[in-house]
């Protein structure tokens, strides 16, 4: 039996770290999949179970590449569609530079909101006294469609990318909305990607192409199989990915979910972090630190 100072041991705390292997015994170790070798094997007499109590992991996800956009704005008195060339030469034309940075955006709404916030920030600098709520973006999760709405102004959202920019691809806009024979805006290296008349909206005809992560699953090779759907796996727990955060993320588990061990002597443990599709979770730029609580199986009536 397990003893410590003459007393029976009924629980153990084990910490696994993905960067423990300074001697590179396991050269294929990565933060999302690593093997830990114990100097002294973990020996358990009787039936034991384990649960994860806390985890720290690097979160530097990226599902979007930087795009520089140009937002052109005209008063509603100018008929952009009827005479685009005159509109572009208008003294009332305002230009706003908008940069959507690379990063992880958990939904198209977050990406659209970033465009609006960057646009309004530049407009506040250039025209602080004007109304700030003229251009809106909305993503419908049920229909997976993105919609831009122009209120009392005319807008053109453009990109220097000769093809569709990553921004429009991510929101599902697959066509360049422009009129035949329409010339380029004042900056010759850009062209219209999205043209909005006042009191109109433009809806994307196809679903977005953002890759998003909402959960990360923890696997251990020392536990008995658990049934997930119609599959037997070594899944131990699920971690909810926080929205809008990056860096070294910490998570704790209030209600510990214990799973029985599949062996009484453990010399190595392999831990894996996977997404909901079963693929290794994209963890990089740091290391994983996880605490596990081992205990004797509890008797249930």
Place of tokens 């799973």: 259
Q: What is the pLDDT of residues 5-22, one digit of tens each?
A: 445 678 999 999 999 987
- The band of 187, judged by pLDDT with boundaries at 50, 70 and 90, is very low
Which structural domains are found in the chain, ordered by start?
Answer: 3-61+213-296 (2.60.120.1100), 67-203 (no CATH)
Q: What is the pLDDT of residues 85-140, one digit of tens each?
A: 666 667 678 888 899 988 888 888 989 999 999 998 888 877 777 666 788 999 98
Residue 255: how many CA atoms within 13 Å on its side-chain side? 1
Confidence (pLDDT) at 179: 47
Is a pLDDT exceeding 60 seen at residue 45? yes
Q: What pTM was estimated for this model as a whole?
A: 0.66
Confidence (pLDDT) at 299: 66
Confidence (pLDDT) at 92: 77
* Cα–Cα distance, 292 to 223 (Å, whole number): 12
């Amino acid at each position: 039996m397990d003893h410590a100072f003459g007393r029976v041991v009924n629980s153990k705390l084990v910490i696994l770290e993905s960067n423990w292997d300074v001697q590179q015994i396991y050269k294929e170790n990565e933060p999302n999949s690593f093997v830990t070798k114990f100097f002294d094997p973990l020996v358990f007499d009787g039936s034991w179970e384990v649960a994860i109590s806390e985890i720290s992991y690097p979160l530097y996800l990226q599902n979007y590449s930087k795009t520089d956009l140009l937002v052109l704005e005209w008063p509603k008195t100018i008929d952009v569609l009827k005479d685009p060339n005159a509109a572009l030469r208008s003294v009332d034309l305002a230009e706003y530079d908008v940069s959507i940075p690379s990063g992880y955006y958990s939904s198209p709404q977050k990406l659209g909101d970033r465009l609006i916030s960057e646009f309004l920030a530049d407009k506040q600098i250039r025209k602080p006294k004007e109304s700030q709520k003229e251009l809106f973006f909305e993503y419908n999760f049920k229909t997976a469609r993105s919609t831009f709405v122009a209120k009392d102004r005319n807008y053109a959202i453009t990109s220097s990318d000769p093809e569709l920019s990553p921004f429009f691809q991510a929101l599902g806009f697959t066509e360049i909305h422009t009129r035949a024979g329409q010339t380029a805006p004042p900056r010759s290296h850009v062209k219209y990607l999205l043209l909005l008349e006042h009191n109109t909206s433009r809806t994307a005809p196809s679903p977005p192409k953002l890759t998003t992560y909402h959960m990360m699953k923890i696997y251990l090779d020392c536990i008995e199989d658990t049934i997930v759907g119609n599959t037997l796996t070594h899944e131990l727990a699920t971690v909810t990915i926080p929205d809008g955060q990056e860096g070294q993320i910490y998570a704790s588990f209030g209600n510990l979910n214990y799973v029985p061990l599949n062996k009484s002597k453990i010399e190595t443990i392999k831990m894996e972090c996977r997404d909901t599709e079963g693929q290794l979770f994209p963890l990089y730029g740091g290391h994983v630190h996880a605490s596990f609580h081992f205990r004797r199986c509890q008797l249930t009536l």
